[in-house]
Amino acid sequence: MGRDNDSRRSDDSDLDMVNRDPNGLNAYLKVGFEDVLAEPDDAHSIDCVWRNSYRCYNGGKNCCYKLLTVLTGLCIALYWGCTFAIVAYNNIWCITPSMKLFKICTGVYRECCVSVTDCVCGPICRSFGLLFSRISVSNK
């Protein structure tokens, strides 16, 4: 069943080709025409200019982006796949158990600190706390 799980994930039949950002990672990247260029009511250019500006912007944007992804997209995806595999391996088999060990040690040391500060700082602070022990507020 675990093997089926793995093979199912590398299958691309369930890849959503329209909504390509289901987790909203890059939702802040709003680069549509109306997000970049806008004319308020008191300053309108000639209709012809405005309509062609729209065409120029979208044409330039799509050409550049699609060209870049065709050239380098697959290599980058492969690179990130390998990188995250190594990171996962490192965290699972090395860092998490080390953190476990580290927490046990600091837990003991912390208990020791609590005893010392309760013994030394506690009584002094409790005495100085008497400063606030006679506040009398009379609401007239």
Minimum distance from residue 1 beta carbon to its own copies (Å): 6
Minimum distance from residue 126 beta carbon to its own copies (Å): 5
Spatial distance between the Cα atoms of 55 and 35, rounded to a whole number of angstroms: 15
Spatial distance between the Cα atoms of 91 and 94, rounded to a whole number of angstroms: 6
Minimum distance from residue 138 beta carbon to its own copies (Å): 4
* Binding-site string for its own copies from residue 54 to residue 83, where x marks contact by CB under 8 A and - marks none: xxxxxxxxxxxxx-xxx-xxx-xxxxxxxx
Count of residues near its own copies by CB under 8 A: 124
* Binding-site string for its own copies from residue 12 to residue 51, where x marks contact by CB under 8 A and - marks none: x--x-xx-xxxxxxxxxxxxx-xxxxxxxxxxxxxx-xxx
Residue with tokens 């040690």: 105
With contact defined as beta carbons under 8 Å apart, do 31 and 61 qualify? Answer: yes
- Answer yes or no whether residue 8 interacts with its own copies by CB under 8 A: no
Minimum distance from residue 75 beta carbon to its own copies (Å): 8
CA 24 and chain centroid, separation: 10
Chain positions 82 to 121 lying near its own copies, rule: CB under 8 A, are 82-89, 91-97, 99-104, 106-121
- DSSP secondary structure letters along 94-129: IIHHHHHHHHHHHHHHHHHHHHHHHHHHHHHHHHHG
